[in-house]
Structure 1
């Protein structure tokens, strides 16, 4: 009987070990599967997908809004100078169009920043703002020179400076198009590229005629 018991015990032990291995594998598989589902949920859950669809803002969107506000404010200030200093009907018309387009965009950009809990740049005063270091922004000296000019001299200075200003805005907008995530901001950037590129062409033509 002893000779028969040992193989039986060995077989039982092997069977028990095999059962334990299956149980452990099942548990391990369950954990791996759970981790996999958890990871999947983090990237593809309905909530995440919905947020992506709405266009969560990123650092580029915030930078675009904070930079474009003072950029637009300066353009509006320059356009307002044209109302009383320009002698060209075409320059006055262009300036009015710039003011009409960029004023509402300033409000929209400010609204985004407020909704995102970000600080809205303060209203510029006399052309002096930290934003003058941004692409295309006029220096305080350039703004003073423009303000002191009138007639044909103003028109030439206005067009030259506004071409530079628009080129800076187009550059900023293209950065938003490539790096931004918030769809409304990217759409605005596209509009800026289209409209201001057309205005640059128009202003260069006026400079040739001036």
Structure 2
């Protein structure tokens, strides 16, 4: 009787152990999917377009912000430019990581400058991009004149980014990409309001 009871207990223990292993394995899969996030989550053409176009868009904003470090006249504009650079740099790295994990082309620096030459109106996704003439004018300005030009150009640039992000929220599939798009809308709309306020002051 004792042997029979011991055997039953052993089988019950083995059964529970196997069940626990099975649960852990399944749980591990779902947790891995959550941790790799956008890499393993579904994505569509809208997500790819958003990432590929937002990279050069952000890079141009950073280029404009770097010019402000030495050409801006007001501390407010210098501070805004620093905030833009700090926020958009990490977003570029995230976007590049997504494209690599999705097996899609990552825009190169050389491509970015080429795209700038074609401006903003050919594709709605690239709205707000400055052309070479705009950038040259900005680089040649300084002081109060620079501040005015920078604010006007960056408002247009941000409005283009907001439009691109709104398209991603509407048409995208990847949850992380949509979340970034929502953050872009919120952050850059707040900066548009600030820049309009600085222009009016």
What TM-score bracket applies, with the shorter chain setting the length?
A: 0.7 to 0.9
**Equivalent runs, 1:173-192 vs 2, <5 Å:** 173-192=165-184
2:150 is equivalent to residue 162 of structure 1 = no
Does the Cα contact within 8 Å between 1:70 and 1:121 map onto a contact in 2?
Answer: yes
Which residue of 127, 134, 140 maps to 1:142?
Answer: 134
Which residue of 63, 77, 81 maps to 2:63?
Answer: 77
**Equivalent runs, 1:87-98 vs 2, <5 Å:** 87-98=73-84
2:42 is equivalent to residue 56 of structure 1 = yes
Q: CA deviation at 1:128?
A: 3.0
Structure 1 residues without counterparts, runs of 5 or longer? 1-46
2:100 is equivalent to residue 114 of structure 1 = yes
Q: CA deviation at 1:124?
A: 4.9
Q: Distance in 1 between matches of 2:102 and 2:41?
A: 13
Structure 2 residues without counterparts, runs of 5 or longer? 1-29, 121-125
Q: CA-atom RMSD, angstroms?
A: 2.3
Which residue of 80, 86, 89 maps to 2:72?
Answer: 86
Which residue of 109, 115, 118 maps to 1:130?
Answer: 115
Which residue of 74, 96, 104 maps to 2:90?
Answer: 104
Q: Distance in 2 between matches of 1:111 and 1:56?
A: 15
Taking structure 1 as the reference length, the TM-score comes to 0.72
Q: Distance in 2 between matches of 1:77 and 1:105?
A: 15
Write out per-residue CA displacement over residues 145-199 of structure 1, whole angstroms, 9 at most, x where no aligned residue.
0011111110000000000000000000000000000000000000000000000
Write out per-residue CA displacement over residues 33-67 of structure 1, whole angstroms, 9 at most, x where no aligned residue.
xxxxxxxxxxxxxx9xx89x964010000000000
Q: CA deviation at 1:123?
A: 1.3
Q: Distance in 1 between matches of 2:109 and 2:88?
A: 14
Q: CA deviation at 1:100?
A: 0.2
Taking structure 2 as the reference length, the TM-score comes to 0.75
Report what 2:26 is aligned to. none
Q: Distance in 2 between matches of 1:61 and 1:128?
A: 22
Q: CA deviation at 1:130?
A: 1.2
Q: Distance in 2 between matches of 1:189 and 1:75?
A: 16
